[in-house]
Amino acid sequence: MGCYFPCKISVYFPKSEKSRTFILYFCLQKLPLQEIRNTMPQSPAPFTLNLGGRLFTLDRPVVMGILNVTPDSFYEGSRTPSSQPEAIRRRVRQIVDEGGQMIDIGAYSTRPGASEVSPREEMERLESALQVVHEEAPEAIISIDTFRADVAQSCVEQLGAHLINDISGGDLDKGMFRTVARLGVPYVLMHIQGTPGTMQVAPHYDNVVAEVLEHLARRVQKLRDCGGKDIIIDPGFGFGKTLEHNYRLMERLEDFHELELPLLVGISRKSMIYRLLDTSPQEALNGTTVLNTIALLRGAHILRVHDVKAAVEACRIVEKMREEN
């Protein structure tokens, strides 16, 4: 009689209500390892995004480079004012040359205490930047970082943007979901507690992971009810969260796969890094790379970053590790 060994294997099933843990008992003498692997469920098909008729497959992690055309973003090194087209041109080339496939253009800083920007000024900044992006990086996927439905619509219909990245998850402009659904573009739905002006005033949760997950699930369903399809979720690191909340979310990042949607992580040079390490945004690259690597190992599909080269290298290393396994 063969000798049996208990083996605990955790498997994520994307079509199930939740991850399940199975205890498999097998005889090592009679069941080869390859045969055991063959009995395991196959990996799900990769997510795809419809970019104006072009199908983009998220079969490996993607780096989204940040292009801030603002004078007051929290990280000084990322400021590329729209009044400096040559600086924008250099930044776009840098993102592409370092391996970024997506460019996220922001014209309205959402850091606490940032100046108010009118819709007209936001559009003027975006128009200048988009012209340069189309000239320098015609193959790049262009994302617009805005919470305004009218701005989103103009950028997609008139200026050739492919994707909308909304830090409010549709809460700051009630017309956003209908607009995104009508446009048929992919949409990054982020969690935020409060507004950019109030989000860091004593944020509170009884269970941050459960509450953020529940909020995203409700918003995803509402967007789907409006006809939205290609949805990307973002837990919203730093948006209405304390240091402890942010690290709890990172620890439990895999829980967000329960929504069966692509996952974007944006922690680049944020306060959850430099406050913990008692440094500054300018000195937070190493911490950013560490957290980006952890996020990749927990299944992040898109990294939104200032430092594209470091993020691309992290992706390549994690992908190599997965190939070896």
pLDDT tens, 126-173? 999 999 999 999 999 999 999 999 999 999 999 999 999 999 999 999
pLDDT at 216: 97
Domains of the chain: 4-39 (no CATH), 59-324 (3.20.20.20)
Contact 255, 209 (CB under 8 A): yes
Query: DSSP for 147-192?
Result: S-HHHHHHHHHTT---EEEETTTTSS-TTHHHHHHHHT--EEEE--
Nearest to 169 by CA among 230, 228, 219, 204: 219
Q: Is 295 exposed, middle or buried (0-12, 13-18, 19+ CB in 10 A)?
A: buried
Q: Give the residue numbers marked as catalytic.
A: 270, 304
Which portions of the chain are predicted below pLDDT 50?
Answer: 1-31, 33, 36-37, 39-41, 75
As given in the structure block, the two tokens for residue 194 are: 């409060």
